[in-house]
Amino acid sequence: MMDTKNIMIVGVGGQGTLLASKLLGAVLLGRGYDVKVSEVHGMSQRGGSVVTYVRWGDRVYSPVIDEGEADIILSFELLEAARYLRFLKKGGRIIVNTQRMDPMPVITSAAAYPENLVEKMKSAGADVDAADFLSLANQAGSARAVNVALLGRLSRLLPEITEETWLEAIAKGVPPKFVDVNQQAFLLGRAQA
Amino acid sequence: MKELMLGNKAVARGLYEAGCRFISSYPGTPSTEITEEAARYEEIDCEWAPNEKVALEAAHGATLGGVRAACAMKHVGLNVAADPLFTISYQGLNAGLVICVADDPGMHSSQNEQDSRHYAEAAKVPMLEPSDSEEARRFARYAFELSEQYNTPVFLKMCTRVAHSQSVVEPEARTEKERVPYVKDPGKVMMTGNSRSAHQRVEKRTRELALLAEESPLNRIEMGDRKIGVITASTSYQYAREVFGDGASILKLGMTWPLPEKKIRDFAAQVECLYVLEELDPFIENQVRALGLTVHGKDVFPVCGEFSQNLVRRCMGLEAPEGAALEEAIPVRPPVMCAGCPHRGVFHILKKKKCMVYGDIGCYTLGAIAPLNAMDLNVCMGASCSGLHGFVKAIGEEAAHHSVGVIGDSTFIHSGITGITEIAYNMSNSTIIILDNSITGMTGHQQNPTTGKNLRGEPAGKVNLEALCRAVGIERVRVVDPYDLKAVEAAVDEELAADAPSVIISRRPCVMIKGTVHKPPIAVDAAKCVGCKACMSIGCPAISFREKQARIDPTLCIGCRVCGQLCRFGALPAPEQEA
């Protein structure tokens, strides 16, 4: 009996977290796992904080991941990584895009964007893997491919899934004219050390 | 073949497999995708109705016409559809009718946290509650059988976590159903004599359904350790299994109205300590208590909010995992109006004028959030019009010249028309602003009767808002472009000053509609920006403040140039500077 594995994907509404969870869910189902992916639509998609839960194993019950349960957090934005850190298991891995997007209280000067978040998350005991995935996406040809670049980095932690499987899932999961850019972004993210 | 499927998509699949031929719905999170996904099947005639009452009446009409039909709505939508619901329950059908209703515990995208299960009991309509996508598919399919067998509408109750979670589904083929011929039956007219006998029939039906609930495989017992017994349904079942594994026995209810009395008693007799695990109200718990059983429920678990595995663990006195957390305060990230949103200019002016703003339900409710803070209150679909009328009646002239109702195009069609009719007929000096962005925005861009397109994007009838407002008796009707702040301000000034009811239609398509052509992003002229932050007062997410100057994020800015109309130093391009 395999323990259920938990990955949280967090970011800002509009960053493409839903595509990342869709691709991840598809490759895990293809491996024969029981999979649950939980997301929230509606209000929060308007630039709010968004979170998607991906769980897989022999038999998955709850569709959500709770505090202290995530094996991995994949964060599209720095502040969102810090916000959801409490969901990470002790010693869990957090992959974070260092892109900074000011939330409205920061824009209106009602609050300050915290400094040195990567160091602070490390001090709190998290295994932090921080990089500028937006640059990788731009290098691949589109800032919008940042989600797939992050997925490429995540793929290194899932050795049972081959590169070919991922590239096929991308080819099936995005519109034909964006396949090349996304596959390129995926490979750049995967290669990025 | 196995497929990972969203709960709502699985409902659509189940309706399709059952031979459903007609679906009429009004969009509402978390129910919207049921109808959108069903529309992918050409065998089902799917439509967006003006509101949920119309949708249910249309779907019921289709069943009288002899085809299996359904409708979908969010929990508060069922309030709107409640009027036909109670009498349809009496009148019966000529083919199966399934009413999908989605609750939103935790209020991810809702104005209240009401529990739809009460409607099942009140309207005497059976309710099925799936706990994952495969059950959503199977229950949707079975609901039609149940509906026809007992001549009753059937509720399929979803919640956010079942509706918006993907899990594994094994689709089956569709079974086509012949249309049942319509035969006139004098007993179908719901007036005194007929209604009396219909009520008798409904009570008998509920007793029969209760017997079915005893035998139905939808209500199953999973025996584990007998120290703890948990009666549960929907997503709470998943939390129970997650937390207890085999360490408890579970009575999993797939049918939550009517309840299987004997099965509950038998289960209770087999366990030492009985719990009911259910989100929101103690609906099952109260029924269990009424059987004279000792049970824990809302004395242990909360009424408010959404459940999770850690919540169940803590309530049960079990250890819950804890993660690392930063001591630092993390600024909240509330949803915001999109960069270039046409509603922004209107709220900026209403704030400037210090108006009392009676808001409504939609994206524009975000006008209540800082820095705009331009909404005083809201209640439900359409209340901005009728509520403002009462407010103005109570206070008189002072309110008439400083208060507005603000309502979106789709919401106006849903429930605002009767409100402005009230204003015109009973003659309050009220001012209503219709934010016409040519789409139903909040729920993900559905067409509506003002857009000229139907659910599938094909040409359709189109409501003329100006003519409609005039037809109900509002003589002062005008249209403004919300990107032109001066024009908006002039319109608001004049209509508030006028001694007659008025409607201002603020017309500009939502920037997120596919095909809307955006202008190139603008940039701040660093030589001219003095860092006064005037441009930041409109709360545009594309504008930030770095190194004592405003900065525009070119990936978000769509060149609406509303901010340029606020800059007194020429650091941002104003509309008239366009080439």
Considering the domain architecture, whether residues B195 and B236 belong to the same structural domain is answered as no
Compute the nearest-CA separation of A193 from chain B (Å).
25
Q: A-contacting residues of B 248-307, CB under 8 Å?
A: none
**pLDDT tens per residue across span A109-157:** 889 999 999 999 999 999 999 999 999 999 999 999 999 999 999 999 9
**pLDDT tens per residue across span B317-374:** 999 999 888 888 999 998 889 999 999 999 999 999 999 999 999 999 999 998 999 9
> CB contact, 8 Å: B31 with chain A?
no
> CB contact, 8 Å: A168 with chain B?
no
Considering the domain architecture, whether residues B172 and B291 belong to the same structural domain is answered as no
Dihedral sign (CA A42, A84, A135, A93): negative
Are B77 and B104 in contact by the 8 Å Cβ rule? The answer is no
Instruction: Test A42 with B442 for CB contact under 8 angstroms.
Output: yes
Helix axes A17-30, A146-155, angle to 10 degrees: 40
- For residue B192, what pLDDT is reported? 87
How many CA atoms does the CB half-sphere of A192 hold within 13 Å?
A: 28
> CB contact, 8 Å: A127 with chain B?
no
- For residue A56, what pLDDT is reported? 97
- For residue B555, what pLDDT is reported? 83
Is residue A41 predicted with pLDDT exceeding 80? Answer: no
Are A53 and A64 in contact by the 8 Å Cβ rule? The answer is yes
Nearest to B242 among A62, A79, A105 (CB): A62
> CB contact, 8 Å: B318 with chain A?
no
Compute the nearest-CA separation of A20 from chain B (Å).
14
Q: Which residue positions in chain B have pLDDT lower than 50?
A: 578-579
Domain assignment present for B515:
no
Q: CA B361 → CA A81, B77, B79, B415, B505, distances in Å?
A: 31, 12, 15, 11, 17
A110 contacts in chain B (CB < 8 Å): 331, 370
B543 contacts in chain A (CB < 8 Å): 107
Give the angle B484-B498-B508 at the CA atoms, nearest 5°. Answer: 25
Considering the domain architecture, whether residues B144 and B119 belong to the same structural domain is answered as yes
Last residue of a domain, which of B172, B194, B215? B215
Dihedral sign (CA B239, B242, B247, B250): positive
Nearest to A68 among B3, B321, B338 (CB): B321
Q: Name the domain count of chain B.
A: 4
Q: Which CATH number covers residue B496?
A: 3.40.50.970
Residue type, B70: A
Are B144 and B92 in contact by the 8 Å Cβ rule? The answer is no
10 Å CB burial of residue B197 (0-12, 13-18, 19+) is exposed
Considering the domain architecture, whether residues B468 and B565 belong to the same structural domain is answered as no
Nearest to A25 among B166, B324, B544 (CB): B166
- For residue B579, what pLDDT is reported? 42
Euclidean distance between CA atoms B485 and B375, whole angstroms: 18
Nearest CA in chain B to A70: B323
Instruction: Test B322 with A39 for CB contact under 8 angstroms.
Output: no
A120 contacts in chain B (CB < 8 Å): 326, 328
Pairing of β B249-253 and β B228-233: parallel
Are B262 and B280 in contact by the 8 Å Cβ rule? The answer is no
Considering the domain architecture, whether residues B256 and B357 belong to the same structural domain is answered as no
Instruction: Test B166 with A62 for CB contact under 8 angstroms.
Output: no
Instruction: Test A124 with B4 for CB contact under 8 angstroms.
Output: no
Interface A:B, Cβ pairs < 8 A: 197
Euclidean distance between CA atoms A36 and B164, whole angstroms: 10
Considering the domain architecture, whether residues B311 and B386 belong to the same structural domain is answered as no
Domain assignment of residue B554, given as a range: 534-578
Considering the domain architecture, whether residues B78 and B128 belong to the same structural domain is answered as yes
Q: Which of A111, A156, A121 is closest to A10 using CA atoms?
A: A121
Nearest CA in chain A to B106: A40
> CB contact, 8 Å: A3 with chain B?
no
B533 contacts in chain A (CB < 8 Å): 109
Nearest to A37 among B3, B4, B310 (CB): B4
Instruction: Test A36 with B166 for CB contact under 8 angstroms.
Output: yes
Question: Residue B50: what are its φ and ψ, rounded to 5°?
Answer: -65, -35
Compute the nearest-CA separation of B4 from chain A (Å).
7
Nearest CA in chain B to A84: B325
Sequence length of chain A is 193
Considering the domain architecture, whether residues B25 and B157 belong to the same structural domain is answered as yes
Domain assignment present for B528:
no
Domain assignment present for B369:
yes
Considering the domain architecture, whether residues B158 and B14 belong to the same structural domain is answered as yes
Convert B279-314 into a string of H (helix), E (strand) and C (coil).
CCCCHHHHHHHHCCCCCECCCCCCCCCCCCHHHHHH
Considering the domain architecture, whether residues B175 and B242 belong to the same structural domain is answered as no
Are B277 and B252 in contact by the 8 Å Cβ rule? The answer is no
Considering the domain architecture, whether residues B437 and B309 belong to the same structural domain is answered as no
Asked whether the ipTM of the predicted complex exceeds the cut of 0.85, the reply is yes
Compute the nearest-CA separation of B168 from chain A (Å).
7
Domain assignment present for B322:
no
If you search the block for the tokens 């403002």, which residue do you land on?
B388
Considering the domain architecture, whether residues B288 and B403 belong to the same structural domain is answered as no
Compute the nearest-CA separation of A25 from chain B (Å).
7
Return the percentage of chain A with pLDDT > 70, whole number: 96
Nearest CA in chain A to B7: A38
CATH topology of domain A5-191: Pyruvate-ferredoxin Oxidoreductase; domain 3 (3.40.920)
A55 contacts in chain B (CB < 8 Å): none
B323 contacts in chain A (CB < 8 Å): 67-70, 85-90, 92
For all residues of chain A together, what is the average pLDDT? 93
A82 contacts in chain B (CB < 8 Å): 326, 328, 330
Return the percentage of chain B with pLDDT > 70, whole number: 99
Nearest to B241 among A29, A61, A92 (CB): A61
A90 contacts in chain B (CB < 8 Å): 323-324
Q: Which CATH number covers residue B254?
A: 3.40.50.920
Q: A-contacting residues of B 344-383, CB under 8 Å?
A: 363, 366, 369-371
Are A76 and A144 in contact by the 8 Å Cβ rule? The answer is no
DSSP string, B487-512: HHHHHHHHHHHSSS-EEEEEE---TT
Last residue of a domain, which of B195, B215, B235? B215
B325 contacts in chain A (CB < 8 Å): 85-86, 124
A39 contacts in chain B (CB < 8 Å): 164-166
Q: A-contacting residues of B 126-165, CB under 8 Å?
A: 132, 160-162, 164-165
Q: B-contacting residues of A 5-44, CB under 8 Å?
A: 12-13, 25-26, 29, 34-44
